[in-house]
């Protein structure tokens, strides 16, 4: 019997890779890639890639907190991208590839801020963390061909 689920929304560069990583976590029951944090309703991939809508490529996770905690998801988030680069992850450049945690309630905000402060003070990163922590707003699922992209095409593989 499935437990109750909660939602987390995270942006860490191209959404294909982060969906692949989080989709392998025990307790994550659903992943959806999409667009959030922008000013245009129901944007297309081409619109978001233009950099003019303000959206970030993100993944929305539904997770069972009795099997994986929000804090554990944040630990993975910090480990799979460089949170010190502004509007860039690897070869992907633009505000749509920014590092951001979109919080759904006060508890998530407190956990995200604590986690960011801990990571920033850990000495793990050579530069300060630039990850935004902002209120979650509308989330628009990306086009079907983006969903489970690496699973469908045999791309990037994460092991945790």
Query: Does the active-site annotation cover 14?
Result: yes
HSE of 54 in the Cβ direction (CA atoms, 13 Å)? 8
Q: Among 11, 12, 14, 28, which one carries the catalytic annotation?
A: 14
- Torsion, Cα of 98, 79, 29, 8 (10° steps): -40
* Nearest Cα to Cα of residue 61 among 116, 1, 18, 111: 18
CA distances from 117 to 50, 101, 123 (A): 32, 13, 11
Give the other-Cβ count within 10 Å of 67's Cβ. Answer: 14
Alpha helix segments (H runs only) across 8-105:
15-23, 45-49, 70-79
**Integer Cα distance of 13 and 93 in angstroms:** 9
Catalytic annotation, residues: 14
């Amino acid at each position: 019997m499935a437990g109750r689920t909660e939602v987390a929304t995270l942006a860490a560069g191209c959404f294909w890779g982060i969906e692949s990583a989080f989709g392998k976590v025990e307790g994550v029951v659903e992943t959806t890639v999409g667009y959030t944090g922008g000013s245009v309703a129901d944007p297309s991939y081409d619109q978001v890639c233009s950099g003019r809508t303000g959206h970030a490529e993100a993944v929305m996770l539904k997770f069972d907190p009795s099997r994986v905690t929000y804090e554990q998801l944040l630990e993975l988030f910090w480990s799979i991208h460089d949170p010190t680069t502004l509007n860039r992850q690897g070869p992907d450049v633009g505000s749509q590839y920014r590092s951001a945690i979109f919080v759904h309630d006060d508890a998530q905000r407190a956990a995200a801020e604590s986690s960011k402060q801990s990571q920033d003070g850990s000495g793990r990163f050579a530069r300060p963390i630039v990850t935004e922590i902002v209120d979650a707003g509308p989330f628009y699922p990306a086009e079907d061909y983006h969903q489970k992209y690496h699973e469908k095409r045999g791309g990037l593989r994460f092991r945790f």
